[in-house]
Structure 1
Amino acid sequence: MPSMTILSATAVPDHVRGALTRWMIEPTPGLYVGTISARVRNELWSTIRASIGPGAATLIHPANNEQGFELHTAGDRRRIPVDFDGLTLMDFRAPENHDVPESH
């Protein structure tokens, strides 16, 4: 059964953007919204995960859980979803930078 799906993507290749716009609308750059089946959603997500590289992507779709949705992320610049007693929270870790000198 098709369901509302939201996908946000940053720095994805043009061929991936083309695949996304075949199934979803792009109301603002990098934000895709559509009512698609789970099969199409999974195929699109597999394509994005395989080609995201230095970008970031977030997929949100309905699910039968406490929050009513599932959240997935991919890419080097992504935020990490963490399960906290059945609730999905986002991990905001600063990127490690070994070139910054220590302050005294």
Structure 2
Amino acid sequence: MVVITLEKVSRSLRGELTRWLVELDAGVFVGRVSARVRELLWEKVVENAGEGRCTMAWNAANEQGFEIRIYGHEDRKVLTIDGVKLVAVQNAKWKRVWREQQKWLKRHGLANGAAGELDNPKTADTSDGSER
């Protein structure tokens, strides 16, 4: 199963998705499509989203049972921590705490691989999209 949500996108993009998925509510699409169709739909969504915001979740053979992608959300990032995907919501306090934590890690000679992901203000796709 695939779930795609769209915010502030064109009606034509929403109409395009209704060819493959059912629109349960404004901007919420659900359906069952192949992995190839899912990837092609996501490409179309990202190409035509403009300033809009998009999310996609689908079944996957992992601990959580699903994978997620987001696009256009400047305040949210998908992080993988110990194999679990989490959505980090970045508000001003969160960013300050994150930077303090990074400074502490650098002072103590410890590395944190997720730091680069969070410092980038807009990432088109934070997931690798691989199937297991």
How high is the TM-score relative to the length of structure 1? 0.81
1:8-87 aligned within 5 A: 8-77=5-74, 79-87=76-84
Distance 1:78 1:93, change over 3 A: closer
Percent identity over the alignment is 37
Higher strand share: 1
Using CA pairs below 8 Å that are at least 6 residues apart, which structure has the higher relative contact order?
1
Residues paired across the two proteins, number: 92
The answer to whether the 8 Å contact 2:52/2:72 transfers is: yes
How high is the TM-score relative to the length of structure 2? 0.65
Q: What amino acid does structure 2 have at the position aligned with 1:68?
A: G
> Could you say which structure has the larger radius of gyration?
2
Structure 1: gaps (5+ residues) = 96-104
Distance 1:39 1:13, change over 3 A: same
Q: Please name the residue that 1:5 is paired with.
A: 2
What CA RMSD, in Å, does the superposition of the two structures yield over aligned residues? 1.5
Higher helix share: 2
1:91: Cα distance to partner?
A: 1.1
Structure 2: gaps (5+ residues) = 93-132
Deviations 1:16-57, CA, capped at 9 Å, x for gaps: 111100011111111000011111111110011112122111
The answer to whether the 8 Å contact 1:54/1:76 transfers is: no
